[in-house]
Amino acid sequence: MAYYIQQLSDDKYKNIANGFIDKLEFFLNNNNQQEVDFEKLVNRIILLNDSLIGKVSRKLQEFNNKSRELVLELKKTLLNLAKNDKFEINLKLINHDVKQSENCWAMAFNHSGQILASGFGKFIKIWNFESGRITEQIKLSGHTNVISCLLFSKYQDSFISGSYDNSIRCWKLLEEQKWLQSQQYQNHTGRILCFILSNDENTLFSGSNDSTIKVWSVDFTNNGIQYCYSLLKHTNTVYALSLNTSETFLVSCGQDNQIIIWMKTQNEKWVFKQIVNQSITGWGAKVDFIQDNQFIWVTGEQNGGDFICFFILINGLFEEQKNKELKLQQNNKVLDYSLFQTMSFKEKQVILFRHKFHIYFLQKRLNGQYNLTTKLQFNDNSIFGAATNDLKFLVLWKESEQKYLIYEVEHITS
Protein backbone atom coordinates (compact mmCIF):
# COMPACT_ATOMS: atom_id res chain seq x y z
CA MET A 1 0.00 0.00 0.00
CA ALA A 2 2.86 2.37 0.75
CA TYR A 3 4.03 1.75 -2.82
CA TYR A 4 0.60 2.79 -4.11
CA ILE A 5 0.73 6.07 -2.15
CA GLN A 6 4.14 6.89 -3.63
CA GLN A 7 2.93 5.97 -7.11
CA LEU A 8 -0.09 8.24 -6.77
CA SER A 9 2.16 11.13 -5.75
CA ASP A 10 4.42 10.58 -8.75
CA ASP A 11 1.55 10.42 -11.22
CA LYS A 12 0.51 13.94 -10.25
CA TYR A 13 -1.76 15.30 -12.93
CA LYS A 14 -2.38 12.09 -14.91
CA ASN A 15 -5.99 10.93 -14.94
CA ILE A 16 -6.91 12.68 -11.71
CA ALA A 17 -10.63 12.10 -12.18
CA ASN A 18 -10.21 8.33 -12.52
CA GLY A 19 -7.19 7.94 -10.28
CA PHE A 20 -9.03 7.29 -7.05
CA ILE A 21 -11.35 4.59 -8.43
CA ASP A 22 -8.60 2.83 -10.38
CA LYS A 23 -6.14 2.78 -7.49
CA LEU A 24 -8.73 1.75 -4.94
CA GLU A 25 -9.79 -1.18 -7.14
CA PHE A 26 -6.15 -2.18 -7.44
CA PHE A 27 -5.80 -2.10 -3.68
CA LEU A 28 -8.92 -4.21 -3.11
CA ASN A 29 -7.81 -6.81 -5.62
CA ASN A 30 -4.31 -7.05 -4.19
CA ASN A 31 -4.96 -6.59 -0.46
CA ASN A 32 -3.18 -9.29 1.57
CA GLN A 33 -5.06 -8.51 4.79
CA GLN A 34 -1.77 -7.62 6.46
CA GLU A 35 -2.16 -3.91 5.72
CA VAL A 36 -3.65 -2.15 8.71
CA ASP A 37 -6.09 0.67 9.03
CA PHE A 38 -7.83 0.35 5.69
CA GLU A 39 -9.96 3.47 6.34
CA LYS A 40 -6.85 5.54 7.09
CA LEU A 41 -5.26 4.54 3.82
CA VAL A 42 -8.40 5.39 1.88
CA ASN A 43 -8.41 8.86 3.47
CA ARG A 44 -4.82 9.36 2.43
CA ILE A 45 -5.77 8.48 -1.14
CA ILE A 46 -8.61 11.01 -1.01
CA LEU A 47 -6.28 13.70 0.37
CA LEU A 48 -3.74 13.13 -2.38
CA ASN A 49 -6.39 13.31 -5.08
CA ASP A 50 -7.84 16.47 -3.51
CA SER A 51 -4.35 17.99 -3.40
CA LEU A 52 -3.78 17.25 -7.06
CA ILE A 53 -7.18 18.60 -8.00
CA GLY A 54 -6.38 21.75 -6.02
CA LYS A 55 -3.10 22.18 -7.90
CA VAL A 56 -4.84 21.79 -11.23
CA SER A 57 -7.52 24.26 -10.16
CA ARG A 58 -4.88 26.81 -9.24
CA LYS A 59 -3.12 26.30 -12.58
CA LEU A 60 -6.41 26.75 -14.40
CA GLN A 61 -7.05 29.94 -12.44
CA GLU A 62 -3.59 31.24 -13.37
CA PHE A 63 -4.26 30.36 -16.99
CA ASN A 64 -7.61 32.16 -16.87
CA ASN A 65 -5.96 35.25 -15.38
CA LYS A 66 -3.24 35.27 -18.03
CA SER A 67 -5.83 34.71 -20.74
CA ARG A 68 -7.83 37.62 -19.41
CA GLU A 69 -4.70 39.80 -19.49
CA LEU A 70 -3.96 38.73 -23.06
CA VAL A 71 -7.53 39.47 -24.13
CA LEU A 72 -7.36 42.91 -22.53
CA GLU A 73 -4.01 43.59 -24.19
CA LEU A 74 -5.40 42.45 -27.55
CA LYS A 75 -8.45 44.65 -27.06
CA LYS A 76 -6.22 47.61 -26.25
CA THR A 77 -4.11 46.96 -29.36
CA LEU A 78 -7.19 46.69 -31.57
CA LEU A 79 -8.60 49.91 -30.11
CA ASN A 80 -5.32 51.70 -30.79
CA LEU A 81 -5.29 50.37 -34.34
CA ALA A 82 -8.86 51.48 -34.83
CA LYS A 83 -8.01 54.90 -33.41
CA ASN A 84 -4.97 55.22 -35.69
CA ASP A 85 -7.11 54.10 -38.60
CA LYS A 86 -9.49 57.00 -38.08
CA PHE A 87 -7.16 59.90 -37.37
CA GLU A 88 -6.04 62.40 -39.93
CA ILE A 89 -2.89 64.48 -39.81
CA ASN A 90 -2.93 68.24 -40.06
CA LEU A 91 0.10 70.55 -40.05
CA LYS A 92 -0.21 73.87 -38.26
CA LEU A 93 2.55 76.43 -38.84
CA ILE A 94 3.47 77.86 -35.43
CA ASN A 95 6.84 79.52 -36.01
CA HIS A 96 8.74 80.90 -39.01
CA ASP A 97 10.88 83.59 -37.37
CA VAL A 98 14.28 81.87 -37.26
CA LYS A 99 16.59 82.57 -40.20
CA GLN A 100 20.17 81.60 -41.00
CA SER A 101 22.55 82.59 -43.75
CA GLU A 102 23.99 79.14 -44.52
CA ASN A 103 22.06 76.26 -46.03
CA CYS A 104 20.64 73.45 -43.91
CA TRP A 105 20.53 70.12 -45.76
CA ALA A 106 20.23 67.85 -42.73
CA MET A 107 18.41 67.80 -39.37
CA ALA A 108 17.86 65.34 -36.53
CA PHE A 109 16.12 65.34 -33.15
CA ASN A 110 17.41 63.54 -30.07
CA HIS A 111 15.30 60.83 -28.41
CA SER A 112 13.41 63.26 -26.15
CA GLY A 113 12.75 65.85 -28.84
CA GLN A 114 14.43 68.56 -26.77
CA ILE A 115 17.64 68.85 -28.81
CA LEU A 116 17.74 69.58 -32.54
CA ALA A 117 20.91 69.29 -34.59
CA SER A 118 20.90 71.02 -37.98
CA GLY A 119 23.35 71.80 -40.72
CA PHE A 120 24.77 75.29 -41.10
CA GLY A 121 26.93 74.93 -44.17
CA LYS A 122 29.95 72.93 -42.97
CA PHE A 123 29.01 73.53 -39.33
CA ILE A 124 26.41 71.88 -37.09
CA LYS A 125 24.08 73.98 -34.97
CA ILE A 126 22.69 72.60 -31.73
CA TRP A 127 19.31 74.02 -30.73
CA ASN A 128 17.18 73.73 -27.64
CA PHE A 129 13.67 72.76 -28.76
CA GLU A 130 10.72 73.47 -26.50
CA SER A 131 7.02 73.82 -27.32
CA GLY A 132 7.71 74.47 -30.97
CA ARG A 133 10.42 77.08 -30.45
CA ILE A 134 14.14 76.68 -31.15
CA THR A 135 16.92 78.50 -29.33
CA GLU A 136 20.48 78.23 -30.63
CA GLN A 137 22.90 76.79 -28.09
CA ILE A 138 26.22 76.14 -29.83
CA LYS A 139 27.83 75.78 -33.25
CA LEU A 140 30.05 72.73 -33.78
CA SER A 141 32.95 72.72 -36.24
CA GLY A 142 35.04 69.92 -37.68
CA HIS A 143 33.74 69.10 -41.15
CA THR A 144 35.25 70.96 -44.10
CA ASN A 145 32.26 70.83 -46.46
CA VAL A 146 28.48 71.01 -46.22
CA ILE A 147 26.70 68.74 -43.72
CA SER A 148 24.58 66.20 -45.60
CA CYS A 149 23.44 63.67 -42.95
CA LEU A 150 22.65 63.77 -39.22
CA LEU A 151 21.42 60.86 -37.12
CA PHE A 152 20.79 60.81 -33.35
CA SER A 153 20.93 57.78 -31.10
CA LYS A 154 17.51 56.68 -29.85
CA TYR A 155 18.91 55.99 -26.37
CA GLN A 156 21.41 58.71 -25.51
CA ASP A 157 22.49 62.20 -26.49
CA SER A 158 24.94 61.16 -29.17
CA PHE A 159 24.72 61.63 -32.91
CA ILE A 160 26.56 60.88 -36.14
CA SER A 161 27.23 63.39 -38.92
CA GLY A 162 28.10 62.91 -42.59
CA SER A 163 29.39 65.50 -45.02
CA TYR A 164 30.31 66.35 -48.57
CA ASP A 165 33.91 66.23 -47.31
CA ASN A 166 33.54 62.39 -47.59
CA SER A 167 33.84 61.89 -43.85
CA ILE A 168 31.73 60.69 -40.92
CA ARG A 169 32.10 61.97 -37.35
CA CYS A 170 30.58 61.07 -33.96
CA TRP A 171 29.45 63.55 -31.33
CA LYS A 172 28.61 62.99 -27.67
CA LEU A 173 27.13 65.40 -25.11
CA LEU A 174 29.39 65.49 -22.05
CA GLU A 175 27.62 68.23 -20.15
CA GLU A 176 25.40 71.16 -21.01
CA GLN A 177 26.64 72.79 -24.24
CA LYS A 178 29.84 70.73 -24.33
CA TRP A 179 30.06 68.14 -27.11
CA LEU A 180 32.89 65.66 -27.58
CA GLN A 181 33.93 65.20 -31.21
CA SER A 182 35.46 62.00 -32.54
CA GLN A 183 38.15 61.68 -35.15
CA GLN A 184 37.03 61.85 -38.77
CA TYR A 185 36.33 58.55 -40.53
CA GLN A 186 37.11 58.87 -44.21
CA ASN A 187 36.84 55.40 -45.71
CA HIS A 188 34.42 56.72 -48.33
CA THR A 189 35.95 58.45 -51.35
CA GLY A 190 32.77 60.39 -52.15
CA ARG A 191 30.09 62.48 -50.48
CA ILE A 192 28.09 60.90 -47.66
CA LEU A 193 24.45 60.86 -48.78
CA CYS A 194 22.66 58.50 -46.39
CA PHE A 195 23.15 56.35 -43.33
CA ILE A 196 21.07 54.22 -40.96
CA LEU A 197 21.60 52.45 -37.64
CA SER A 198 20.62 48.92 -36.62
CA ASN A 199 18.02 48.67 -33.86
CA ASP A 200 20.64 47.91 -31.20
CA GLU A 201 22.75 50.78 -32.61
CA ASN A 202 25.81 48.55 -32.87
CA THR A 203 25.97 48.76 -36.66
CA LEU A 204 25.97 51.72 -39.06
CA PHE A 205 25.38 51.50 -42.81
CA SER A 206 26.48 54.47 -44.94
CA GLY A 207 25.90 55.24 -48.62
CA SER A 208 27.89 57.57 -50.84
CA ASN A 209 28.36 58.82 -54.38
CA ASP A 210 31.45 56.59 -54.50
CA SER A 211 28.92 53.77 -55.30
CA THR A 212 29.62 51.83 -52.10
CA ILE A 213 27.81 50.97 -48.90
CA LYS A 214 30.10 50.81 -45.88
CA VAL A 215 29.34 48.71 -42.79
CA TRP A 216 30.65 50.05 -39.48
CA SER A 217 30.61 48.87 -35.87
CA VAL A 218 29.35 51.59 -33.52
CA ASP A 219 30.37 52.40 -29.96
CA PHE A 220 28.41 55.41 -28.72
CA THR A 221 29.79 54.97 -25.21
CA ASN A 222 33.31 55.67 -26.48
CA ASN A 223 32.07 58.03 -29.18
CA GLY A 224 33.43 56.15 -32.16
CA ILE A 225 32.84 53.84 -35.10
CA GLN A 226 35.07 51.29 -36.78
CA TYR A 227 35.03 50.36 -40.47
CA CYS A 228 34.21 46.68 -41.08
CA TYR A 229 33.72 46.10 -44.82
CA SER A 230 32.01 47.38 -47.98
CA LEU A 231 29.01 46.17 -49.94
CA LEU A 232 29.85 46.41 -53.63
CA LYS A 233 27.16 46.05 -56.28
CA HIS A 234 25.96 49.55 -57.12
CA THR A 235 27.63 51.24 -60.08
CA ASN A 236 26.64 54.82 -59.25
CA THR A 237 25.58 57.01 -56.32
CA VAL A 238 23.81 55.27 -53.41
CA TYR A 239 20.85 57.43 -52.37
CA ALA A 240 18.92 55.52 -49.70
CA LEU A 241 19.07 52.56 -47.31
CA SER A 242 16.53 50.72 -45.14
CA LEU A 243 16.52 47.69 -42.82
CA ASN A 244 13.50 45.48 -42.25
CA THR A 245 12.25 45.07 -38.67
CA SER A 246 13.89 41.69 -38.05
CA GLU A 247 17.09 42.99 -39.68
CA THR A 248 17.39 40.06 -42.04
CA PHE A 249 17.28 42.26 -45.16
CA LEU A 250 18.83 45.58 -46.17
CA VAL A 251 17.51 47.40 -49.25
CA SER A 252 19.41 50.10 -51.13
CA CYS A 253 18.70 52.22 -54.19
CA GLY A 254 20.80 54.57 -56.27
CA GLN A 255 21.42 56.52 -59.42
CA ASP A 256 22.33 53.34 -61.29
CA ASN A 257 18.58 52.58 -61.56
CA GLN A 258 19.00 49.61 -59.25
CA ILE A 259 17.15 48.41 -56.17
CA ILE A 260 19.38 45.91 -54.40
CA ILE A 261 18.57 43.50 -51.57
CA TRP A 262 21.28 42.43 -49.13
CA MET A 263 20.84 39.64 -46.58
CA LYS A 264 22.45 38.87 -43.25
CA THR A 265 24.16 35.48 -43.04
CA GLN A 266 24.35 33.19 -40.01
CA ASN A 267 27.75 34.62 -39.12
CA GLU A 268 26.19 38.13 -39.00
CA LYS A 269 27.78 39.31 -42.24
CA TRP A 270 25.85 41.15 -44.93
CA VAL A 271 26.01 39.82 -48.49
CA PHE A 272 24.33 40.47 -51.82
CA LYS A 273 21.02 38.67 -52.40
CA GLN A 274 19.00 40.18 -55.26
CA ILE A 275 18.67 42.94 -57.83
CA VAL A 276 14.94 43.68 -57.78
CA ASN A 277 13.06 43.80 -61.07
CA GLN A 278 11.06 47.01 -61.47
CA SER A 279 8.57 48.13 -64.08
CA ILE A 280 9.71 51.77 -64.01
CA THR A 281 13.09 52.35 -65.61
CA GLY A 282 14.93 55.05 -63.70
CA TRP A 283 16.42 55.84 -60.35
CA GLY A 284 14.80 56.54 -57.02
CA ALA A 285 16.08 58.57 -54.09
CA LYS A 286 13.98 57.00 -51.33
CA VAL A 287 13.36 53.44 -50.13
CA ASP A 288 11.81 52.23 -46.89
CA PHE A 289 10.67 48.92 -45.37
CA ILE A 290 7.03 49.35 -44.33
CA GLN A 291 6.67 45.77 -43.11
CA ASP A 292 9.15 43.02 -42.39
CA ASN A 293 8.57 41.56 -45.86
CA GLN A 294 7.53 44.66 -47.80
CA PHE A 295 9.17 47.94 -48.84
CA ILE A 296 8.36 51.02 -50.88
CA TRP A 297 10.53 52.76 -53.46
CA VAL A 298 9.89 56.32 -54.64
CA THR A 299 10.84 57.48 -58.12
CA GLY A 300 13.27 60.38 -58.22
CA GLU A 301 14.04 61.39 -61.79
CA GLN A 302 12.73 64.54 -63.41
CA ASN A 303 10.66 62.43 -65.80
CA GLY A 304 10.44 59.35 -63.59
CA GLY A 305 6.66 59.14 -63.48
CA ASP A 306 6.27 60.29 -59.82
CA PHE A 307 5.11 57.07 -58.15
CA ILE A 308 5.38 55.09 -54.92
CA CYS A 309 6.05 51.48 -55.85
CA PHE A 310 5.44 48.52 -53.52
CA PHE A 311 7.56 45.35 -53.33
CA ILE A 312 6.81 42.21 -51.31
CA LEU A 313 8.73 39.05 -50.47
CA ILE A 314 7.40 36.04 -52.42
CA ASN A 315 9.16 32.65 -52.38
CA GLY A 316 12.38 34.19 -51.11
CA LEU A 317 12.56 37.06 -53.62
CA PHE A 318 11.10 40.57 -53.60
CA GLU A 319 8.60 41.26 -56.37
CA GLU A 320 6.81 44.43 -57.42
CA GLN A 321 3.11 44.74 -56.60
CA LYS A 322 1.98 46.83 -59.53
CA ASN A 323 -1.64 46.92 -58.37
CA LYS A 324 -0.61 48.77 -55.16
CA GLU A 325 1.29 51.56 -56.94
CA LEU A 326 0.36 55.08 -55.77
CA LYS A 327 0.54 58.22 -57.92
CA LEU A 328 2.28 61.31 -56.54
CA GLN A 329 1.75 64.89 -57.65
CA GLN A 330 3.14 64.95 -61.16
CA ASN A 331 6.15 67.20 -61.65
CA ASN A 332 8.55 66.81 -64.59
CA LYS A 333 10.35 70.10 -63.96
CA VAL A 334 12.77 68.98 -61.23
CA LEU A 335 14.33 65.85 -59.73
CA ASP A 336 13.82 64.66 -56.15
CA TYR A 337 16.70 65.37 -53.77
CA SER A 338 17.72 62.41 -51.62
CA LEU A 339 18.90 64.25 -48.51
CA PHE A 340 15.47 64.53 -46.87
CA GLN A 341 14.98 60.79 -46.27
CA THR A 342 11.72 59.07 -45.34
CA MET A 343 10.81 58.98 -41.65
CA SER A 344 8.84 56.02 -40.27
CA PHE A 345 6.64 56.17 -37.18
CA LYS A 346 5.85 52.51 -36.55
CA GLU A 347 3.39 52.95 -33.66
CA LYS A 348 1.28 55.35 -35.69
CA GLN A 349 1.69 53.36 -38.92
CA VAL A 350 2.74 56.57 -40.67
CA ILE A 351 5.58 57.44 -43.05
CA LEU A 352 6.60 61.06 -43.68
CA PHE A 353 8.54 62.06 -46.76
CA ARG A 354 9.18 64.88 -49.20
CA HIS A 355 8.99 64.32 -52.93
CA LYS A 356 10.01 67.25 -55.13
CA PHE A 357 7.68 70.14 -54.16
CA HIS A 358 5.44 68.30 -51.70
CA ILE A 359 5.38 66.90 -48.15
CA TYR A 360 3.43 63.62 -47.93
CA PHE A 361 2.10 61.31 -45.25
CA LEU A 362 1.61 57.64 -46.08
CA GLN A 363 -0.71 55.98 -43.55
CA LYS A 364 -1.54 52.30 -43.22
CA ARG A 365 -5.21 51.42 -42.70
CA LEU A 366 -6.72 48.42 -40.90
CA ASN A 367 -7.58 46.80 -44.21
CA GLY A 368 -3.87 46.73 -45.08
CA GLN A 369 -4.17 49.43 -47.72
CA TYR A 370 -2.17 52.67 -47.63
CA ASN A 371 -3.68 56.12 -47.72
CA LEU A 372 -1.55 58.91 -49.25
CA THR A 373 -2.18 62.53 -48.33
CA THR A 374 -0.41 65.70 -49.49
CA LYS A 375 -0.03 68.19 -46.64
CA LEU A 376 2.34 70.90 -47.89
CA GLN A 377 3.27 72.30 -51.27
CA PHE A 378 6.27 74.52 -52.00
CA ASN A 379 7.61 76.31 -55.04
CA ASP A 380 10.87 74.36 -55.24
CA ASN A 381 12.45 71.09 -54.13
CA SER A 382 15.04 72.58 -51.74
CA ILE A 383 13.09 71.62 -48.61
CA PHE A 384 14.81 69.63 -45.87
CA GLY A 385 13.67 68.69 -42.39
CA ALA A 386 13.00 66.32 -39.50
CA ALA A 387 10.18 65.44 -37.10
CA THR A 388 10.27 64.65 -33.40
CA ASN A 389 10.14 60.93 -32.61
CA ASP A 390 6.59 61.25 -31.26
CA LEU A 391 5.47 63.03 -34.46
CA LYS A 392 4.26 66.08 -32.57
CA PHE A 393 6.42 68.61 -34.39
CA LEU A 394 7.93 68.94 -37.85
CA VAL A 395 10.77 71.36 -38.60
CA LEU A 396 11.58 72.27 -42.20
CA TRP A 397 14.30 74.37 -43.78
CA LYS A 398 13.11 76.45 -46.71
CA GLU A 399 16.20 77.29 -48.73
CA SER A 400 14.57 79.95 -50.92
CA GLU A 401 13.73 82.05 -47.86
CA GLN A 402 16.71 80.93 -45.73
CA LYS A 403 14.52 80.18 -42.72
CA TYR A 404 13.09 77.43 -40.54
CA LEU A 405 9.40 76.54 -40.60
CA ILE A 406 8.07 74.84 -37.47
CA TYR A 407 4.79 72.94 -37.63
CA GLU A 408 2.69 71.37 -34.93
CA VAL A 409 1.44 67.99 -36.08
CA GLU A 410 -2.23 67.69 -35.18
CA HIS A 411 -3.79 64.22 -35.03
CA ILE A 412 -7.47 64.72 -35.75
CA THR A 413 -9.83 61.81 -35.08
CA SER A 414 -12.46 61.51 -37.75
Instruction: Write the pLDDT tens digit of every residue in 53-90.
Output: 777 777 777 777 777 788 787 777 666 655 555 568 89
What is residue 77's three-state secondary structure? helix
- Tell me the whole-structure pTM to 2 decimals: 0.78
Q: Which residues contact 267 (CB under 8 A, 6 or more apart)?
A: none
**Quick one: how far is CA 355 from the chain centroid?**
21
* Residue 368: HSE in the Cβ half-sphere, 13 Å Cα cutoff: 4
What pLDDT shows up at residue 83?
55
Q: Which residues contact 253 (CB under 8 A, 6 or more apart)?
A: 238, 239, 240, 259, 260, 283, 284, 285, 286, 287, 297
pLDDT, mean of residues 280-286 = 92
CB environment 55-72: b (16+ within 10 A), e (fewer): eeeeeeeeeeeeeeeeee
pLDDT, mean of residues 96-103 = 93
Residue 31 has pLDDT above 80, yes or no: no
The pLDDT mean for the chain works out to 87
Judged by average pLDDT, the poorest of 20-34, 155-169, 213-227, 375-389 is 20-34
What pLDDT shows up at residue 22?
62
Closest among 394, 383, 410, 411 to 116, alpha carbons compared? 394
Residue 24 has pLDDT above 70, yes or no: no
Q: Is the four-CA dihedral 343, 168, 197, 130 of positive or negative sign?
A: negative
What is residue 245's three-state secondary structure? coil
Residue 272 has pLDDT above 80, yes or no: yes
pLDDT band at 305 (very low <50, low <70, confident <90, very high): confident
- Domains located in the chain, CATH noted: 2-70 (no CATH), 89-413 (2.130.10.10)
DSSP labels, 311-336: EEEETTEEEE-GGG-EEPPP--SSPP
Virtual torsion, Cα 266, 267, 270, 271, nearest 10 deg:
-70
What pLDDT shows up at residue 82?
55
Residue 405 has pLDDT above 70, yes or no: yes
